Amino acid sequence: MNRIAVASDHGGYRLKLTISDILREKGYEIEDLGTDSPESVDYPDFARDVAERIAAGSVKRAILICGTGIGMSITANRYRNVRAALCNDVYSAKMSRLHNDSNVLVLGGRVVGPGVAEDIVETWLETKFEGGRHTRRLKKIEQEQLKNVIHELVTDRIEGRQKVDKGMIEKIVAEAIEVLGLGNEKENGAEK
């Protein structure tokens, strides 16, 4: 059975219930990460829970919903291996999978109604990644993520120090490559 994580804030709560029902009807196992009521909550908490699961590989795809979808998409895209796409129309949903291999669909609960949302979700789930030239473009995003991880590691480790030796920088870079899971690609014959 296919498993998909679903989460929302209060602005997306009602649409989350509708989408969860649709997914169950289609045979998906739902990992509901909240919220559990229309009471006001902070969207970053829910986007983080989903993004961490995607980054860790414990779920392959997820749906996030807030009032407009903007806050959820901004938050989720801060995590490695997350490609969250805000799609409030069917065409965007299709292209987000076809060209961007999105693994998180983000919807605006106050922007789209249940009928349109159902069409968006169905399209997003059924569309396969095209690969080819788009794979090269996704690799560029991964490289930017690596640069950001290296910057964070370097900043955290050497802040306040006056001298930094080459060995320490090499160690930090090796750790960043390991964190992103890019270390074994060359050894396994995978193309960079």
Write out the H or E segment, with its range, that includes residue 106. strand 104-108
**Among 87, 99, 134, 151, the one annotated catalytic:** 99
**Among 66, 87, 134, 151, the one annotated catalytic:** 66
Distance in angstroms (rounded) separating the CA atoms of residues 69 and 105: 9
Rounded to 5 degrees, φ, ψ at 18 are: -65, -50
Q: How many CA atoms lie within 13 A of 26 on its CB side?
A: 18
99 is catalytic: yes
DSSP single-letter state for residue 64:
E
User: Which class for 159: exposed (0-12), middle (13-18), buried (19 or more C-beta within 10 A)?
Assistant: exposed
Distance in angstroms (rounded) separating the CA atoms of residues 19 and 126: 15
Pairing of strands 84-86, 104-108: parallel
134 is catalytic: no
Please state at what angle helix 114-126 crosses helix 90-98, rounded to 10 degrees: 20
Pairing of strands 62-66, 104-108: parallel
**Which residues form the catalytic set?**
66, 99
